[in-house]
């Protein structure tokens, strides 16, 4: 059921009334409606964040360029010295691959790159200029500059192992594309050169060890051979014991000679192969000059900025909705008060408001006039508007559209042929009297005992009589006597078919209570998105204390789209 069809549904009985459920407030339709009302907040927040993102991406952020080189590990090389695994092959297991990543990002390797490329003198890697070495203090500053450059280089380098492969990608990101390419290539070249240098150093250590060991074995062999040559049998000749001893010396000499010959051969092989070592890795692809910056990613920044702005805008909309105290649903007015909503008046633009209240003529006023006609029809159908009848029109606060509704109702009743009287009972503001152009004593004289017909003034625009207030009302006149009000209303019932009283706001002063208790019907005016549930409860409680119950409510200043009357108004604009 749409809003327009349901706002005039009669209120439920007290036993059937249900309190407003939370699910009604958070349903999808209410959320979308809230976003629709605050679309300008979302638009401003999104536009502001997009502007900031654009400024950052194109004006503030420094472009950085990423260059990447790749190497591949070769695990098929065998060591030249089988008993020394110091130059052995790399394995394919995960710990070994992680170890290579650590080596590629190692401080020693990166320190070599810093020294080779003099990055300690590069402002991007070392904002503090290095001081030439000239003393102990200068040496410390140079070392500090090197460490700063080293830390910044480590932050600019990224090493990763491509999944399921022995390929490593080394990428460098700096503000200069040539610098990024040069550093990436220097890292892989230094890494491979370091592998060769390590193997050569290990081979040399092995050769030194072999050389020393061969010399030791040669000395041992010479000593044992001398003992064999100098061996003499005793006076008893060659006995079993002497023969065994000599054989042991001969065997020991032969074992030393065999080991000496083997190690001498390995030493010669190691020396011969010293310049033929290959690294465990090779360059798969050198870094190329990057043509486009890797950051900032301007499109991504704009998308993120727009998303953040949209989010902040939605948050702002919901915070704005949460801060509002006014009831926005016409059905909710009926649920909160258990009273029927007899009508809903659309919002009138400020530029038209004065003419609408006074004349209500022309095509622009058609939708407002139609709303008033709907209210009067419902009053007549419910027999509340049977003549003679006195309406006390009340509202919780000022600005709820009460005076505009009173003038509009009076004009429409008069147009239907009813003898109509409008009474301005708001002795403090005189809003109705000002808009109707009334300046004679009016209500003050009538309450003082003057005949009603002599106190009223006919309004040619409204085509009804107006009992207004003078320009100045005394303090005593501001609080009318209840008996005088009763006499006045009795005279009005005798002389007029319809009497409509514009009363002061209930939650501000008590001046409306005597008129409300003596009137035939009380009509409550509430402002859409302006009257809160607490204000409405306070006004109804005030009326209940004097035994007055409103016959219904009229919601004023409703947005036309809520009523679904925008098309109706457009129809009249085209007439």
Mean of the pLDDT values across residues 90-97? Answer: 70
The per-residue pLDDT for 152 is 94
For position 77, what pLDDT does the model report? 46
pLDDT of residue 11: 41
Local confidence band at 524 (pLDDT 50, 70, 90 cut-offs): very high
Q: Please, which residues have CB within 8 angstroms of residue 539's CB and are 6 or more apart in sequence?
A: 394, 395, 396, 506, 507, 524
Question: Between residues 20 and 43, which one has the greater pLDDT?
Answer: 43
What pLDDT was estimated at residue 483?
A: 85
Peptide bond into 314 cis (omega under 30): no
Residue 296: cis peptide before it, omega within 30 degrees of 0: yes
pLDDT at 67 over 50: yes
Tell me the average pLDDT of the chain.
80
Model confidence at 136: pLDDT above 60? no
Q: Looking at the whole model, is its pTM more than 0.95?
A: no
Q: What's the pLDDT band for 214 if we cut at 50, 70, 90?
A: confident
Q: How far is CA 150 from its chain centroid? A: 38
Count Cα atoms within 13 angstroms, Cβ side, for 408.
32
Tens-place pLDDT, residues 218-244: 888 888 888 777 766 556 556 677 777
Residue 499 predicted with pLDDT over 50: yes
Q: What local confidence, expressed as pLDDT, does residue 217 receive?
A: 85
pLDDT at 52: 95
Q: Which residues contact 39 (CB under 8 A, 6 or more apart)?
A: none
Closest C-alpha to 359, from 482, 233, 460? 460
Which of 56-70, 141-155, 333-347, 429-443 is predicted with the least confidence, judged by mean pLDDT? 429-443
The predicted model gives 402-425 an average pLDDT of 89
How high is the pLDDT of residue 109?
A: 92
Q: How confident is the model at residue 334 (pLDDT cuts 50, 70, 90)?
A: confident
Greater pLDDT, 114 or 442: 114
pLDDT over 90 at 188, yes or no: yes
Q: Helices marked H in 123-176 — which ranges?
A: 136-156
- Backbone dihedral region for residue 574 (phi beyond 0: left; psi -120 to 50: alpha; all else: beta): alpha
What is the reported pLDDT for 3? 40
Across 308-316, average pLDDT: 94
Neighbour tally for 58: CB within 10 Å: 12
Within 10 angstroms of residue 475's Cβ, the number of other Cβ atoms is 7
C-alpha span between 457 and 442 (Å, rounded): 8
pLDDT tier at 257 (50, 70, 90 boundaries)?
confident
pLDDT at 17 over 50: no
N residues, the chain: 575
Asked if pLDDT for residue 470 goes beyond 50, the answer is yes
More confident residue, 134 or 458: 458
Q: Residue range 552-565: average pLDDT?
A: 79
pLDDT at residue 535 above 70?
yes
Question: Are 65 and 175 a contacting pair, CB within 8 Å?
Answer: yes
Q: Which residue has the higher pLDDT, 425 or 304?
A: 304
pLDDT at 573: 47
Distance in angstroms (rounded) separating the CA atoms of residues 153 and 479? 87
Percentage of the chain with pLDDT > 90? 28
Q: pLDDT digit string (tens) for 28-54?
A: 777 787 788 789 999 999 999 999 999
Q: How confident is the model at residue 179 (pLDDT cuts 50, 70, 90)?
A: very high
Tell me the pLDDT band of 85, cut-offs 50, 70 and 90. Answer: very low
DSSP calls for 223-236: HHHHHHHT---BTT
Measured CA distances, 276 to 197, 205, 271, 279 (Å):
12, 16, 10, 10
- Of residues 265 and 472, more confidence is placed in 265
> Is the pLDDT score of 142 beyond 50?
yes
Over 80: is that where the pLDDT of 135 sits? no
Q: What is the pLDDT of residue 191?
A: 92
**Of 155 and 84, more confident:** 155
């Amino acid at each position: 059921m749409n809003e327009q069809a349901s706002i005039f549904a009669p209120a439920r009985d007290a036993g059937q009334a249900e309190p407003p459920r939370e699910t009604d407030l958070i349903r999808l339709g209410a959320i979308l409606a809230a976003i629709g009302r605050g679309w300008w907040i979302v638009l401003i927040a999104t536009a502001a964040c997009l502007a900031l993102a654009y400024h950052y991406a194109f004006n503030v952020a420094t472009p950085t360029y990423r260059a990447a080189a790749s190497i591949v590990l070769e695990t098929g090389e065998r060591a030249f010295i089988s008993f020394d695994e110091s130059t052995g092959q790399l394995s394919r297991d995960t710990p070994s691959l992680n170890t290579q990543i650590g080596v590629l990002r190692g401080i020693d390797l990166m320190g070599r790159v810093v020294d080779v490329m003099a990055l300690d003198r590069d402002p991007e890697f070392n904002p503090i200029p290095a001081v030439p070495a000239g003393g102990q203090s200068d040496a410390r500053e140079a070392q500090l500059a090197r460490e700063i450059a080293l830390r910044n280089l480590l932050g600019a380098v990224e090493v990763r192992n491509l999944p399921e492969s022995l390929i490593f990608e080394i990428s460098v990101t700096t503000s200069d594309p040539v610098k990024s390419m040069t550093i990436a290539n220097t890292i892989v070249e230094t890494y491979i050169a370091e592998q060769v240098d390590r193997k050569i150093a290990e081979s040399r250590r092995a050769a030194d060890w072999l050389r020393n060991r061969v010399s030791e074995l040669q000395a041992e062999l010479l000593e044992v051979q001398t003992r064999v040559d100098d061996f003499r049998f005793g006076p008893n000749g060659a006995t079993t014991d002497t023969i065994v001893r000599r054989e042991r010396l001969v065997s020991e000499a032969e074992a030393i000679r065999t080991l000496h010959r083997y190690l001498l051969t390995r030493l010669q092989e190691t020396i011969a192969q010293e310049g033929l070592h290959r690294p465990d890795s090779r360059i798969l692809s050198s870094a190329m000059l990057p043509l486009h910056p890797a950051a900032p990613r301007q499109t991504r920044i704009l998308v993120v900025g727009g998303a953040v702005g949209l989010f902040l805008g939605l948050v702002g909309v919901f915070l704005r909705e949460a801060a509002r105290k006014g009831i926005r649903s016409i059905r909710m007015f009926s649920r909160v008060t258990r009273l029927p909503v007899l009508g809903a008046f659309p919002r009138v633009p400020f530029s038209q408001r004065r003419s609408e209240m006074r004349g209500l003529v022309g095509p622009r006023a058609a939708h407002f006039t139609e709303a008033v006609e709907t209210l009067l029809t419902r009053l007549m159908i419910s027999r509340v508007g049977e003549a003679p009848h006195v309406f006390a029109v009340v509202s919780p606060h000022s600005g709820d559209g009460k005076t505009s509704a009173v003038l509009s109702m009076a004009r429409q009743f008069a147009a239907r042929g009813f003898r109509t009287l409008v009474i301005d009972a708001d002795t403090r503001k005189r809003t109705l009297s000002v808009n109707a152009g009334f300046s004679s004593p009016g209500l003050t004289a009538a309450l003082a005992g003057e005949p009603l017909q002599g106190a009223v003034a006919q309004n040619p625009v409204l085509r009804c009589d107006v009992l207004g207030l003078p320009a100045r009302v005394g303090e005593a006149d501001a609080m009318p006597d209840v008996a005088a009000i009763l006499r006045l209303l009795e005279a009005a019932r005798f002389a007029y078919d319809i009497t409509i009283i514009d009363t002061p706001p209930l939650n501000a002063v008590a001046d409306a209570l005597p008129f409300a208790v003596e009137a035939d019907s009380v009509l409550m005016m509430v402002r859409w998105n302006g009257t809160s549930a607490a204000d409405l409860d306070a006004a109804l409680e005030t009326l209940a204390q004097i035994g007055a119950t409103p016959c219904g409510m009229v919601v004023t200043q409703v947005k036309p789209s809520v009523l679904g009357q925008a098309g109706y108004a457009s129809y009249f604009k085209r007439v």
